[in-house]
Chains A and B, each alone.
Chain A
Amino acid sequence: MSIPSVVRGGVFVAVLVTLPMLGLQHWFLNLLVFVLMYATMSSSWNLVGGFAGYPSLGHAGFFGIGAYTLALIFKDQVLATGYEPFLLLPLVGLVGALVGWPIALISMRTRADVFAIVTITFLFVVQTLAFNLHSLTGGSQGTALPIPPFSAAGFELPFYYVMVGLLVFTMGLTFATMRSKLGLSLVSIRADEDKARGVGVRVIGVKVLAFSVSVGITSMVGAVWAYYESFIYPQFAVDPLITIAMVLMTFLGGRGTLWGPVLGAVILESGQQLLTYQLGAVQLYLIAYALIFLVIILLLPRGILPTIEDRLRLRRRRRRTAAAAALPGGPPSSNVADAASMLGRGAT
């Protein structure tokens, strides 16, 4: 572990923890809670969509599964402290992961665009069930969760801090994945799955594991959201727009990076909320989404962070070459050049 990444992470957590102490207004805290939710979900989507390269469009289905799982557990209950739902989040995550396991086993036999279609089908199956299983979900009339007994003055704070915890957990998991052979295996799957299979990478196990963990986290966010809203409707609990937001945020920030999905969520979610507040037109952000997607594809196909990283890498290399050339006696005869010329290729 290099020190800079520890420092970066520490500063990030410190900022998140201290932010609410600045006496922020409710609307701003509310916005932050949503930014954190989307940052966590994008980070979780990134595990399978970014690292393994499987563009799941079904994650919102698991968001809904999490939301309804919590609603079912706490149906008609009155909470004493209000923290009980948070304590059961790991259970909700487990439910999501267990549902995700067979879904992944089946859907991940397909790839790329077909996988996207299979998973979005799953999303609509969940949505249809949410509308029609009246005894469980209340159908289109929605279902109520216990009212959080928090004081009005600090109503958002418990949700805020739970989401900070979930985001840090997810980013920690992402960081650990990147530093492990699991991460290496996932990237090899994204690069060339058949080749990976042929060099002994345990492709099925690794991608199913990534998917399950990913949707488990998404379910937990769904549960927090449901509790925060207190009353959930199928069209919002299982909403394709949530999937699209996750994908778009990850693409904007940078797939397969630790900070990309978080950056994407901060930009898009705060942008969306501000647009809504400013203009009052709730649906306007959809047009913005489409525009942003076009801009990403045209100008930043790999996302913000990887593009910046590439620029920096190039600049560093150029500077190093320049420095080497400035040395008396010209650049040191490197073996790279030797190897390259041996292979009949100019200097790299």
Chain B
Amino acid sequence: MTNLLSVQDVTKVFGGVRAVDGASLLVKEGTVTALIGPNGSGKTTLFNIITGYLKADAGRVEFDGSDVTGSDPGRLYRKGLSRTFQQARIFPQLTVQENLVVAGGYGWRSLFTSRIGRADRERAASLLEEFRLSDISELLASELSYGQRKLLEFAAVLMSEPKLVLLDEPTAGVNPVLIETMERHIRERNAAGITFLIVEHDMTFVMRLCDPVIVLDAGRPIFAGEPSVVQNNALVLDAYLGS
């Protein structure tokens, strides 16, 4: 398997805090890779660097065979690197359907075409169907529950047919039934060829779904391997529980 994403010696300093400290990690194509670690270990900062929201002070990020260090989030998105946010960021003033369409990754010329064209509608419809949002496609996203927003955000980043999707805590704050739904969608999409990198605190979810698991502590990976091994690794236990 080839490496779809490769992070090399990335460092990010905020004032005196080394949020990410010489971190290197690989995400192989076709995997569901988990990125776990205690609070403040730099997971989200690393996410923000990979997706172009933050500029790294040092290091290199490669995606799909090319150097994308410091690339704009929009360009990365169009190249096939999508992400979701911890707090389920959707566009409340837009309808569910429009939330999908706006994420289509359009070029300049498309800006002057119809707001929702026939092709957009068809593309959105199959995703809405898949995520069982068809019946509420005309509702404003502001009218959705938090769980529905999470699903919508996930569905929307699939509009650009990404190669790699970064999910930032996909199960945070949602009920157990929805966690299962989320898991099913990730599995289905993974089977269809999408690679995932997931930040998550729900360990049973991670253990069920992800392989390999990368553990981050104090801004750098301390372990990468199978989920079953992680639970017994002394370094990991130390990071979470303290020695």
Chain A residues with CB under 8 Å of chain B are 178-185, 187-188, 190-192, 194-203, 205-206, 334-336, 338-340, 342-345, 348
Contact = CB atoms under 8 A, between A and B. Distances in A.
B66 interface: no
B73 A197 contact: yes
B83 interface: yes
Contacts of B14: none
A197 B74 contact: yes
A206 B111 contact: yes
B74 A198 contact: yes
Contacts of A185: 102, 111
Interface in B97-142: 98, 101-106, 108, 110-116, 132-136, 139
Contacts of A205: 108
B189 interface: no
Nearest to A182: B111
Interface string B141-174: 0010101100100001101100000000000000
B193 interface: no
Interface stretch (B18-26, B85-93, B208-216, B231-239): B85-93
B67 interface: no
A338 B142 CA distance: 19
A345 B73 contact: no
Contacts of A334: 135
B171 to A, nearest CB: 13
Contacts of B111: 180-182, 185, 202, 206
Contacts of A198: 51, 53, 73-74, 77, 82-83
A200 B113 CA distance: 16
B207 interface: no
A343 B147 contact: yes
Contacts of B116: 184
Given A180-B112, A188-B91, A336-B136, A201 B147 contact: no
Contacts of B148: 339, 343, 345
B106 A200 contact: yes
Given A181-B110, A182-B112, A334-B135, A343 B177 contact: yes
A184 B101 contact: yes
Contacts, number: 121
A202 B74 contact: yes
Contacts of B72: 197
A202 to B, nearest CB: 7
Given A187-B94, A200-B77, A181 B132 contact: no
A251 B77 CA distance: 35
A343 B74 contact: no
A199 B102 contact: yes
Contact of B74 (A179, A192, A203, A335): A203
Contacts of B77: 198-200
A200 B139 contact: no
A348 B139 contact: yes
A60 B113 CA distance: 31
A344 B147 contact: yes
A339 B137 CA distance: 12
B145 A345 contact: yes
A205 B178 CA distance: 38
A179 B133 contact: no
A339 B134 CA distance: 9
Nearest to B84: A198
A192 B181 CA distance: 26
B91 A192 contact: yes
B176 to A, nearest CB: 8
A179 B114 contact: yes
B103 A199 contact: yes
Contacts of B157: 199
B78 interface: yes
B175 interface: yes
A200 B93 CA distance: 18
Contacts of B181: 342-343
A180 B145 contact: no
Nearest to B131: A339
B93 A187 contact: yes
Given A184-B101, A192-B90, 20 more contacts: A180-B111, A181-B102, A181-B106, A183-B115, A187-B91, A188-B94, A188-B102, A195-B91, A196-B91, A198-B53, A199-B105, A200-B74, A201-B74, A202-B111, A339-B136, A339-B148, A342-B132, A343-B151, A345-B145, A345-B147
Nearest to A178: B115
A152 B94 CA distance: 51
A343 B135 CA distance: 14
8 contacts: A184-B94, A192-B91, A194-B53, A201-B74, A343-B175, A344-B177, A344-B178, A348-B143
B102 A343 contact: no
Given A191-B91, A343-B177, A348 B105 contact: no
Nearest to B132: A339
